[in-house]
Each structure stands twice: as structure tokens, then as C-alpha cells.
């Protein structure tokens, strides 16, 4: 009898411990997730103002996001987001979340800002797994290379020159690391092609 009472008591104790622990884990997970989400939003907002000059919009970019259907030109297999810049009511620029497929270590996630006149004003790599010291130079924290996409359009350079120098184009690659910059140049070119192809609809957003 004593044994059964003791087992019951221990079981209840263990049960309470499990419930309290699970509750603590759930609260910690929720708090951490909110913190991570708000960090991502803060990082994106900072990148927006770096790649799209303030003269192009007077709305709140983050809250004016739209969803775009998956499209090979965006490198996406699921809907992605774009952030619409407006001057008063008219669309003046769009920042696309786009995927550079074919990096050395998988996909890279990019923000590409394009004005209504099809000018790329800036690009940022917001996540990647490229090798430190090699492909990670596409990241603004490691080098200025990504700034070569400021104020470019089809014509400057010519569309056929939108490639790394090793492939006959205008954009630099890195010594011993051509795969990553090649993937990024292709992704920015594809995003601009997507914009030009869908311009009529996009500018009505």
C-alpha cells in the first residue's frame, strides 16, 4: 500500500514538473521567436533605406508589402514578398525579395530595389551560406562588391553584359570564387526581367 502511495506521489510530482517545464519552454520559444522576428524586420528596414533613396517613397515600406506568386525569374517556389514604395499614391519603386539559386552552398536571399523606370538602385544579400573569405564577399558586411548594383539598368550595362567578367560581362567576380557572384548577378538580372515583364500589373498595386 505504502509502495503504491509512494508511486502515486512521485507520478504526480513528475507530472507537475513536466507541465511546468513544457510551459516554460513554450513561453521562452514564443518570446525568442518574437525577438527574432522583430530583429529580421529591423534588419530589413535598415536594408530598405540603404538600397532605396528616401526621395523615392513617402509611405511606410514594411506595411505596404504585397505577395507575389512563385516565379522562376524570382527564383521562388513559393509566394514571396515585395515592398511597394509610393510617392503619394503612385508606385515609384518596388523592393523584391528574390532568391539567387545556384550559390556554392545553396540559395541566397536577396533584396533588390527597382524604380518604376526599371533602374536598380541597390541590392542586399539578407541570408546566405557561402564560404567565409570566398563567396561571402557578396555580403555588404564583408565587401562593397554588392554596391556595383547601384543605378544599373538594361542599357547600363547592356543587357548582354549582365554577367561576371569571366563570362564576358561587366561585373567583377572574386579571385577563386566565381560561382557566388555569378549566381547573384543572374538573380538581379532575372529580377529586373521579372519587373519589366510584369510592370503594368506591378505599377497598379
Tell me the closest approach of the beta carbon of residue 171 to ligand FMN, in angstroms: 13
Interaction of residue 177 with ligand FMN, rule CB under 6 A: yes
By the rule CB under 6 A, 104 interacts with ligand FMN = yes
User: Which residue do the cell numbers 564560404 mark?
Assistant: 131
Q: How far is the CB of 105 from ligand FMN (least distance, A)?
A: 6
Phi, psi of 131 (to 5 degrees): -75, 130
Task: Single out the residue of 80, 180, 190, 191 in contact with ligand FMN (rule: CB under 6 A).
Answer: 180
| Residue among 92 and 180 whose Cβ is closer to ligand FMN | 180
User: Is 148 in contact with 173 (CB distance < 8 Å)?
Assistant: no
The answer to the question of residue 59 lying near ligand FMN (CB under 6 A) is no
* Residue 134 contacts ligand FMN per CB under 6 A: yes
Residue 101 found at the interface with ligand FMN (CB under 6 A)? no
**Backbone dihedral region of 25: left (phi > 0), alpha (psi from -120 to 50 degrees) or beta?**
alpha
Specify whether the backbone of 118 is left (phi greater than 0), alpha (psi in -120 to 50) or beta.
left
Is 82 a binder of ligand FMN (CB under 6 A)? no
Q: Report the C-alpha dihedral over residues 155, 157, 162, 167, rounded to 10 degrees.
A: 130
Residues binding ligand FMN (CB under 6 A): 104, 130-131, 134-135, 176-180
Amino acid at each position: 500500500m505504502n509502495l503504491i502511495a509512494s508511486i502515486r506521489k512521485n507520478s504526480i510530482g513528475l507530472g507537475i514538473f513536466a507541465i511546468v517545464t513544457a510551459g516554460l519552454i513554450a513561453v521562452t520559444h514564443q518570446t525568442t521567436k518574437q525577438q527574432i522576428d522583430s530583429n529580421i524586420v529591423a534588419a530589413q528596414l535598415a536594408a530598405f533605406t540603404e538600397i532605396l533613396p528616401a526621395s523615392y517613397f513617402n509611405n511606410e515600406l514594411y506595411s505596404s508589402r504585397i505577395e507575389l506568386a512563385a516565379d522562376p525569374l524570382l527564383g521562388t517556389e513559393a509566394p514571396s514578398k515585395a515592398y511597394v514604395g509610393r510617392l503619394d499614391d503612385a508606385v515609384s519603386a518596388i523592393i523584391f525579395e528574390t532568391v539567387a539559386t545556384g550559390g556554392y552552398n545553396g540559395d541566397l536571399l536577396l533584396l533588390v530595389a527597382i524604380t518604376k523606370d526599371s533602374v536598380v538602385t541597390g541590392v542586399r544579400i539578407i541570408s546566405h551560406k557561402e564560404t567565409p573569405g570566398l563567396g561571402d564577399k557578396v555580403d555588404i558586411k564583408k565587401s562593397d562588391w554588392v554596391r556595383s548594383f547601384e543605378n544599373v539598368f538594361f542599357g547600363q550595362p547592356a543587357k548582354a553584359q549582365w554577367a561576371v567578367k569571366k563570362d564576358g560581362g561587366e561585373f567583377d567576380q572574386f579571385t577563386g570564387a566565381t560561382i557566388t557572384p555569378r549566381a547573384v548577378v543572374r538573380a538581379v538580372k532575372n529580377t529586373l526581367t521579372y519587373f519589366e515583364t510584369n510592370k503594368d500589373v506591378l505599377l497598379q498595386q
